[in-house]
Amino acid sequence: MAIHGDPRYVADVRYLWPRGQSLPNMTAMLEPQPSPPIVADAVLMHRLAQRDSTALVELERRHRASLYAQAYGILMDSNLAERVVRDVFAQLWYAAARFVGSSTPLRSLRAMATELARAELALRDVRMPRR
């Protein structure tokens, strides 16, 4: 039984590969593959204003975690923070044209999340008064 640290041990995949099939070009597999072009948030906002749902999905994929962390930092409640994030993207879908001219869409999303989280905090305080 060979040990991987043993200099006499050299793995030869030719013995493990099925007969009649050629070995893949391993160096081509290790080369970096070109990544798809990154679309700017402002472009996604323009597409969202034209009711492109894939733009909303991409914006949510990019910013959901940071918006959740921001809302959770204010509310300290995971269910309410999740509701705030869901409401941010729902408002974004229905009022996307309002954000099209924004220089930084993320700043607008963060401001909306803060506003909604503070409103939830106020509602929670009204529902459950402190003793």
Domain spans of the chain, in order of start: 41-127
Instruction: Identify the residue with better confidence: 41 or 114.
Output: 114
Q: What percent of the chain has pLDDT over 70?
A: 66
Per-chain mean pLDDT for the chain? 80
- The pLDDT confidence band at residue 10, using thresholds 50, 70 and 90, is very low
- Nearest residue to 112 via CA among 128, 98, 126: 98
The radius of gyration of the chain from alpha carbons, rounded to an integer in Å, stands at 25
Rounded distance between C-alpha atoms, residue 120 and residue 17, angstroms: 60
Contact 109, 63 (CB under 8 A): yes
What mean pLDDT do residues 99-124 have? Answer: 88
Would you say residue 92 has pLDDT above 80?
A: yes
∠ Cα 90 61 39 (to 5°): 105
What per-residue confidence (pLDDT) applies to 103?
Answer: 67
Section 54-63 average pLDDT: 93
Rounded distance, CA 25 to CA 32, Å? 14
DSSP string, 111-129: HHHHHHHHHHHHHHHHHS-
User: For residue 32, what pLDDT is reported?
Assistant: 67
CATH class of the structural domain 41-127: mainly alpha
Ramachandran area for residue 12 (φ above 0: left; ψ -120 to 50: alpha; else beta): beta
Overall average pLDDT of the 105-122 stretch: 92
